[in-house]
């Protein structure tokens, strides 16, 4: 029952939290998972915030099929090579071998851009600002629940534009939308940046990313936004008659976030007792644990608990009364701590006599007695306070685990030692990038979106620095 500590065994801690908090479990096909109701409720909260932000920024949802003729995938060379090892192919159906195999979408650029070739004729048809919520299949050899699964849920935006400048603005806009949701709703601080050529999405001209730091000091890529240039328009023949009367290829972006965010939420906030959920994504923000010995006490306490729950729900809080009578209060306390419920309210006969309840905060462990008349106000005030406290905590952790490297020894020692983000100048050379990866397993997580002079020599080769790179070992 006890969790491994984060320090002793972080992967074991993660696995046990996912299992004991009832978030998800492995299923039968390799790398697939069952997302259980508590885990799915967390995903729905993130998904709802993300969907609202995607619509607020001017996009509409639509839906494309999950099976794509294999020949379509083959048209964009870099794209097909990038995804080939992960693609699952349907070869038989209807009792016979298919004349043409179908792939299960590893991402939908190919089918969408093939379709856009029929939707786009003139500049008047642009921009197309579409998003879909879908499941994706990428064959996974080392699966981990939420972080890497063969099938996962995500959203993928696919936009088409008249000009490169417009498409680039869109790429940057959606990265900011991701930052807004991940920081504002999940309380996970992220760095926005640009990927190196080696880390780019297959077929993209530039890939932008948001990167978060987990409590084992590894980085998690939490969302990506790609500027695709005309690569897909050329491969799939998306041409339009421009304002100048000439034919042009459309400019493209795509951007995605997935159920991986749930894994990030667990690892960015969790502690040795389990999850710590920000109120905005907590399936229950408040749990009431009734405390009683006799049947008389039980009736009195449960009635009071039901009344409070009703009042607080009417005020917009998500409240659960834990009235399971086969479990002791101490067990329930630990159970809700494991599940990360932001506030626990303990109510027993002595509390009712004194016209008060006891509140316990999950984030700080702090316990306070609050008069019955004032509980709702306190709870309502606590929700934004806990949301902010978890964010501040994660920012402080990230800052404490960000190091500057002046030379190669610094870089190597920082990564091999405490880990975290290590910032240093880089010459832009793929050799230097590969050397760090070979020596330390760390990769360049991001560069500033706009290139800037680091004002220092490359920490790897000592040559002229052209970029400020941030390295980390990543999921
Ligand atoms: Zn170098």
User: For the purposes of burial, counting CB atoms within 10 Å of the CB of 372, is it exposed (0-12), middle (13-18) or buried (19 or more)?
Assistant: middle
Task: Give the pLDDT score at 1.
Answer: 65
Query: pLDDT tens digit string along 230-273?
Result: 999 999 999 999 999 999 999 999 999 999 999 999 999 999 99
Question: 230, 58, 244: which is closest to 161 by C-alpha?
Answer: 230
Distance 77 CA to ligand 1 centre (A): 29
Distance 461 CA to ligand 1 centre (A): 4
Distance 434 CA to ligand 1 centre (A): 10
Distance 448 CA to ligand 1 centre (A): 17
Structure tokens belonging to residue 407: 């030379």
Distance 435 CA to ligand 1 centre (A): 9
Centre a 10 Å sphere on the Cβ of residue 368 and count the other Cβ atoms it contains: 11
Distance 210 CA to ligand 1 centre (A): 24
Distance 82 CA to ligand 1 centre (A): 26
Distance 433 CA to ligand 1 centre (A): 8
Distance 473 CA to ligand 1 centre (A): 19
Distance 455 CA to ligand 1 centre (A): 14
Question: 350, 362, 456: which is closest to 410 by C-alpha?
Answer: 456
Which residues of the chain have a pLDDT value below 50?
none
Distance 194 CA to ligand 1 centre (A): 18
Distance 423 CA to ligand 1 centre (A): 14
Task: Give the pLDDT score at 74.
Answer: 83
Distance 271 CA to ligand 1 centre (A): 38
Distance, in Å, from the CA atom of 231 to the CA atom of 39, rounded to the nearest integer, reads: 38
SS3 25: strand
User: For the purposes of burial, counting CB atoms within 10 Å of the CB of 336, is it exposed (0-12), middle (13-18) or buried (19 or more)?
Assistant: buried
**Got the DSSP string for 355-381?**
TEEEEEETTT--EEEEEGGGHHHHHHH
Task: Give the pLDDT score at 2.
Answer: 86
Distance 94 CA to ligand 1 centre (A): 56
pTM score of the predicted model = 0.96
- Are 104 and 152 spatial neighbours (Cβ–Cβ below 8 Å)? no
Distance, in Å, from the CA atom of 411 to the CA atom of 400, rounded to the nearest integer, reads: 16
């Amino acid at each position: 029952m006890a969790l491994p500590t984060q320090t002793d065994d972080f992967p074991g801690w993660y696995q046990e939290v996912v299992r004991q908090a009832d978030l998800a479990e492995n299923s039968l096909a390799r790398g697939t998972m069952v997302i259980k109701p508590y885990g799915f409720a967390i995903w729905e909260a993130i998904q709802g915030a993300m969907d609202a932000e995607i619509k607020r920024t001017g996009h509409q949802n639509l839906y494309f099929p999950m099976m794509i003729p294999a020949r379509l995938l083959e048209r964009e060379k870099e794209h097909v090579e990038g995804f080939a090892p992960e693609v699952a192919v349907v070869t038989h159906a209807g009792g016979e071998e298919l004349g043409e195999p179908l792939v299960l979408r590893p991402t939908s650029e190919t089918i969408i851009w093939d379709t856009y070739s029929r939707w786009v004729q003139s500049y008047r048809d642009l921009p197309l600002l579409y998003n879909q919520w879908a499941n994706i299949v990428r064959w996974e050899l080392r699966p981990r629940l939420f972080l890497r699964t063969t099938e996962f849920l995500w959203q993928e935006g696919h936009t088409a534009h008249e000009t490169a400048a417009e498409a680039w603005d869109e790429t940057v806009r959606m990265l900011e939308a991701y930052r807004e949701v991940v920081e504002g709703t999940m309380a996970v601080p992220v760095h926005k940046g640009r990927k190196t050529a080696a880390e780019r999405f297959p077929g993209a001209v530039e890939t932008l990313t948001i990167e978060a730091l987990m409590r084992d000091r590894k980085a998690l890529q939490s969302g990506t936004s790609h500027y695709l240039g005309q690569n897909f328009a050329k491969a799939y023949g998306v041409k339009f008659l421009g304002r100048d009367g000439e034919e042009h290829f459309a400019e493209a972006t795509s951007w995605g976030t997935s159920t991986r965010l749930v894994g990030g939420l667990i690892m960015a906030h969790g502690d040795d007792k389990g999850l710590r959920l920000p109120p905005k994504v907590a399936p229950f923000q408040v749990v009431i644990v009734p405390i009683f010995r006799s049947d008389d006490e039980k009736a009195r306490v449960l009635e009071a608990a039901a009344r409070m729950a009703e009042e607080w729900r009417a005020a917009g809080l998500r409240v659960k009364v834990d009235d399971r009578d086969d479990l002791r209060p101490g067990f329930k306390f630990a159970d809700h701590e494991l599940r990360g419920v932001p506030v626990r309210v303990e109510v027993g006969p002595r509390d009712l006599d004194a016209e008060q309840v006891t509140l316990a905060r999950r984030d700080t462990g702090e316990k306070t007695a609050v008069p019955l008349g004032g509980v709702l106000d306190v709870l309502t005030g606590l929700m934004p306070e806990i949301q902010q406290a978890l964010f501040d905590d994660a920012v402080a952790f990230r800052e404490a685990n960000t190091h500057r490297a002046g030379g190669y020894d610094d870089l190597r020692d920082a990564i091999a030692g405490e880990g975290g983000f290590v910032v240093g100048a880089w010459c832009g050379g793929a050799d230097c990038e590969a050397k760090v990866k070979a020596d330390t397993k760390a990769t360049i997580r991001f560069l500033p979106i706009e290139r800037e002079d680091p004002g220092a020599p490359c920490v790897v080769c000592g040559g002229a620095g052209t970029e400020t790179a941030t390295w980390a070992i990543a999921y």
